[in-house]
Amino acid sequence: MTQESRIFKAKPMTQWLEEAKDLPPIKPLIAPWWNEGETCFFFGSTGLGKTIYAMQLAYEISKDKKVLYFDFEMTERQLLQRYQNNGKLIPFSENLIRVEMKKDVFVSGKKLTDEIASIIKEQEAKVVIIDNLTWLLEDTQEAKNAIPFMKNISKIKREHDVSMLIIAHTPKRKPTSELAKSGELTTFDSPLELADMAGSAALNNFIDSCFAIGKSRKDDLRYFKQLKSRSSEIVHGEEKVVLCRLGRTDDGFLGFSKEEEGSEYEHIFKGDNKKDRNKQVSKLKKAGLSSRQIGEEMNMSHTQIQRIIKEELAKIDDTKAKSSKLKSNETGERKSFLRQIKK
């Protein structure tokens, strides 16, 4: 077997690192959600505005890069309604190419990805947005469907050196627990996690970055949260989600505008939000439940529960330390006072 025909490359680790030093730095497409060269997933429940935000990203990126937007969601009439303002069409860049499938055409997954690759090559695009994965795959939860499709998508990304954004959905969340039904829990919803994305178990190995959109309890607002990033630090996790409002900009474009940043718990929990949640975790821990059992009851991951318990224990230790110091000071003052009396 010749060196050229082998499928693996073997080099000393130091050589890999030296060669990596000469590669161009990682650049953000839309910071911090999506970097160049990544396969990024964006998901959320139906009706929250995923397509609106994806088109907003395409609109911004197309100002200096060729973008292909594979649209399996909107009709031409719906597009016209959304992207005109008082009868005036929104001015899009010629770099933004929308692609839709011909009506009543049914093809295999392989044929579909071959067509996607063909259009990318024809248009010489560097950025690709697919809206959405649920339409393309009959059952995204099934690994036998999702994995072959994503292998083809990954091959396209490498061969054509493109950045990919794939829109996905959130399946219906599990029912509230018995504790919630009895009124012992105050949760309105649960924090968004990568596991909430349809097909996440099968797709995880193909994901470079992922972010999601959630609905806030406050007003008619949405929040955006990072869930995975292989190339850079997660900036907008659960303690610093980005709260946005949907509306039209000054030039009439329909999109999201940033309002503020804050804890995700402020937007998904009733009562005193994070304080109530932490109090409930402490209560269940004292009752003898494990972190995993508490997570199941509160519809949260066991790692989140472990972090909360650690934070609550730190607060207790801090309170004890302050109390001990206060008692020590009181004892010292009492002894000083007694000495003065004796004199």
**Each residue's pLDDT tens digit, 7-47:** 888 999 999 999 988 888 888 899 899 999 999 999 998 88
Nearest alpha carbon to residue 100 among 121, 85, 79: 79
The DSSP code sequence of 136-183 is H-S-TT-HHHHHHHHHHHHHHHHHHT-EEEEEEEPPPPPPPPHHHHTT
User: Which of 167, 204, 198 lies closest to 56 in space, CA to CA?
Assistant: 167
Task: Specify the CATH number for 24-268; select among 3.40.50.1000, 3.30.70.270, 3.40.50.300, 3.40.50.720.
Answer: 3.40.50.300
Distance CA 163, CA 76 (A): 26
Which tens digit of pLDDT belongs to each residue from 304-319?
A: 788 888 888 887 766 6
Q: What is the pTM of this model?
A: 0.75
CB 167 within 8 Å of CB 198: no
Check residue 127 and report its DSSP letter.
E
77 or 3, higher pLDDT: 77
Under 8 Å CB-to-CB from 33, ≥6 apart: which residues?
A: 40, 42, 209, 211, 224, 226
User: How far is residue 248's CA from residue 244's CA, in Å, rounded to a whole number?
Assistant: 12
Over residues 143-161, the pLDDT tens digits come to: 566 788 888 889 999 999 9
Q: Give the whole-number percent of the chain exceeding pLDDT 90.
A: 38
Q: Which pLDDT score is estimated for 307?
A: 84
- The CA distances from residue 292 to 205, 288, 300, 303, in Å, are 24, 12, 9, 8
* Position 195 pLDDT exceeds 80: yes
Q: Is it the case that residue 181 has pLDDT exceeding 70?
A: no
Q: Given this model, what pLDDT does residue 278 score?
A: 81
Residues 57 and 165: beta-carbon distance below 8 Å: yes
Query: Is the Cα dihedral 195, 201, 205, 208 positive or negative?
Result: negative
Domain ranges within the chain, ordered by starting residue: 24-268, 274-342
Question: Please, which pLDDT band fits residue 226 given cuts at 50, 70 and 90?
Answer: very high
Q: Which of 143-157, 189-203, 219-233, 325-339 has the lowest mean pLDDT?
A: 325-339
